């Protein structure tokens, strides 16, 4: 079974598959890991904390190898005079994020949580920054086995006579060749 990476957060996660950092990860990890989107536009850390045990049940038969948690933008919106809305005071936000990370880390099958708390919606440049930051963390992490995309084997990566033929009339295995991705040196 392939490793599973879960992206859990607000709109910055939900929309990350539209030419964003989630799409970049799914692209680079194609045939290596399943990138699972658990993005909920408009949510804050308070709402996430209320469902974290449903999104990440401890008794699930398949546990993710990596979880990326990304909340904060909605929490940081100004407090509405009605008292309603997504605003969460900073100290509560920090505590909510600690509790979410604790829930994820308590399960022995979950190795790490990479928690981002910058809450802006990303431009193309912003998505490259996030993609590169995540890929750098995965490259530099001392995890066994490595979760860095270049270190992972691809499904069905063996050479085949059905591989594309190069200019030198040799088959070329492209299992590890991502479609050109100019945004990263990782």
**Which residue is catalytic, options 10, 16, 45, 131?**
10
DSSP 23-74: HHHHHHTTTT-EEEEEE-TT--HHHHHHHHHHHS-TT-SS--SEEEEE--TT
Asked if CATH classification 3.40.1130.10 holds for the domain at 4-151, the reply, yes or no, is no
Taking residues 98-107, what's their average pLDDT? 85
**Which residue is catalytic, options 53, 80, 121, 151?**
121
Active site residue 160: no
Taking residues 1-20, what's their average pLDDT? 89
**Which residue is catalytic, options 87, 117, 163, 175?**
117
- Give the pLDDT score at 108: 41
Active site residue 121: yes
Which residues contact residue 125 at a Cβ distance below 8 angstroms, ignoring those fewer than 6 apart?
A: none
Q: State if pTM tops 0.75.
A: no
Query: What percent of the chain is helix, strand and coil (3-state, nearest 5)?
Result: 35, 10, 55
Q: Has residue 62 got a pLDDT over 50?
A: yes
- pLDDT tens figures, 16-36: 988 789 999 999 899 899 999
Active site residue 27: no
| Domain range annotation of the chain | 4-151
């Amino acid at each position: 079974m392939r490793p599973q990476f879960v992206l859990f957060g607000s709109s910055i996660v939900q929309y990350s598959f539209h030419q964003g950092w989630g799409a970049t990860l799914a692209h680079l990890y194609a045939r290596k890991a399943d990138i699972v989107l658990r993005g909920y536009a408009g949510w804050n850390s308070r709402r996430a904390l209320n469902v974290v045990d449903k999104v990440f049940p401890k008794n699930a038969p398949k546990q993710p190898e990596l979880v990326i948690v990304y909340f904060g933008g909605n929490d940081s919106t100004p407090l509405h005079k009605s008292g309603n809305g997504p605003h969460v005071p900073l100290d509560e936000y920090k505590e909510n994020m600690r509790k979410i990370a604790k829930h994820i880390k308590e399960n022995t099958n979950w190795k790490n949580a990479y928690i981002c708390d910058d809450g802006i919606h990303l431009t193309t440049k912003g998505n490259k920054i996030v993609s590169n930051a995540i890929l750098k963390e995965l490259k530099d992490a001392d995890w066994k086995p490595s979760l860095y995309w270049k270190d992972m084997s691809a499904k069905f990566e063996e050479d085949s006579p059905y591989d594309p033929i190069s200019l030198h009339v040799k088959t070329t295995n492209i299992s590890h060749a991502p479609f050109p991705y100019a945004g990263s040196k990782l």
